[in-house]
Amino acid sequence: MEILGVKFAPLNIPLERRLQTLAAAIWTFVTPFGNFWGYLITVYLIFYTETLRYFLLLYFLWMYYDWDTCHSGGRSEMWTRMARNNAFWRYFCNYFPLKLVKTVDLDPKKSYLFIGVPHGILSIGIFGSFGTDILNCKKLFPGLEIRPITLDQHFKTPIFREYPYSLGTCASSLKSIKYLLSTPPKNPYTGRITVLVVGGASESMESKPGTYRIIIKRRKGFVKLALKYGTALVPVFSFGETDLYNQIYSPEGSTFRRIQNYIRNLIGLAPVVFSGRGFFQYSFGLIPKRLPVTVVVGSPIELPKIAEPTIEQINEYHEKFMKSLVELFETQKYNYIKNAENITLEL
């Protein structure tokens, strides 16, 4: 039913789909705005409660003790097992639905650096694939501990920090990534996958339905780190990620883009103006659109271990990675993209 250009959802939608939409809505209001909610709840507990404020002081002591965990491998599976695999995440992943596909088996005794593109608005495909166990990432890659990387600031926010910790994520700091690439995992794992979305906030501003524009030519730090520790690079592509939201797009050089870049440099987050759908209508809102996202894991690129790689060596393997990424996109796009023959990967 459509009224004044707004397309409303039917009243007779099955409960299963309603619960899926609810899960997507909750995720949207918690995850992107979690730092705000964390500080808001903290202020409320300090100034407007009598007893709970003292528990908060104890929590601050725990934060101090636990401050460096996000830089040293994250929480153990004892903390994350139930949080990563429950009904909520099942509803969330089935909403789109999300799907994780591997193209080759990985050696469980090695270390891998998964490079995920495109970022999209909220990196939903990468989040659902590796931040939860619903898509069976641990069964697809047996023996490998999986550690997604997220913003460092999430681990500094009271209360909210427990959320990314519970999903097994680690901070996007140099210290954290060096630790993950250089330190062997604990039993029962024999290898590790570190998942990094290199495009970040800049790439989210390029997200537009029907296009795949990624920022990777200038991003070479991940290659330097992979060479330093002899870690294999693996291209990972999220087909459908950029279709989940519309946004007010401004090209580079425009006044609005300059304002966005200024705010991004100031706070580390991209101030994108985006729209998906609402709970009872499909025309606008913060909930992502119900469209499929398929995350495809490509073949690993083996790198030598070079303690101090030269610029030439970094450029050489960066070129190899980009070539492998384009090859993955071109060979897989016909399986997951409509009108694939007219869509190219813009680097």
As a whole number of angstroms, the distance between CA 313 and CA 88 comes to 45
Of 230, 206, 200, the closest CA to residue 300 belongs to 230
Q: Per residue in 107-150, pLDDT tens?
A: 999 999 999 999 999 999 999 999 999 999 999 999 999 999 99
Q: Per residue in 60-118, pLDDT tens?
A: 999 999 999 999 999 999 899 999 999 999 999 999 999 999 999 999 999 999 999 99
As a whole number of angstroms, the distance between CA 74 and CA 314 comes to 28
**Residues making up the chain, counted from first to last:** 347
Of 210, 223, 256, the closest CA to residue 322 belongs to 223
Q: Per residue in 7-44, pLDDT tens?
A: 877 888 899 999 999 999 999 999 989 999 999 999 99
As a whole number of angstroms, the distance between CA 141 and CA 114 comes to 12
Of 259, 120, 147, 289, the closest CA to residue 201 belongs to 120
Comparing 151-160, 230-239, 253-262, which segment has the lowest mean pLDDT?
Answer: 253-262
Average pLDDT, the chain: 93
Domains of the chain: 2-31+67-342 (3.40.1130)
Q: Look at residue 331 in the predicted model and tell me its pLDDT.
A: 97
Give the pTM. 0.94
Q: Per residue in 215-247, pLDDT tens?
A: 999 999 999 999 999 999 999 999 999 999 999
- Beta-bridge mates of residue 275: 246
Extract the runs of DSSP E, i.e. beta strands, from the chain.
2-3, 6-7, 98-102, 111-117, 144-150, 170-171, 191-196, 212-213, 232-239, 246-247, 274-275, 293-297, 345-346
- Determine the residue type at 58: L
As a whole number of angstroms, the distance between CA 67 and CA 79 comes to 16
- Determine the residue type at 227: L
Q: Which residues of 273-295 are buried (b: 16+ CB within 10 A; e: fewer)?
A: ebbbbbeeebeebbbbbbeebbb
SS3 state at 179: helix
Of 63, 47, 315, 73, the closest CA to residue 173 belongs to 73
Q: How far apart are the first and last CA of the chain?
A: 40
- Residue 234 has a CB neighbour count (10 Å cut-off) of 26
- Assess contact for 206 and 290: CB atoms under 8 A: no
Q: Per residue in 279-324, pLDDT tens?
A: 888 888 999 999 999 999 999 999 999 999 999 999 999 999 999 9
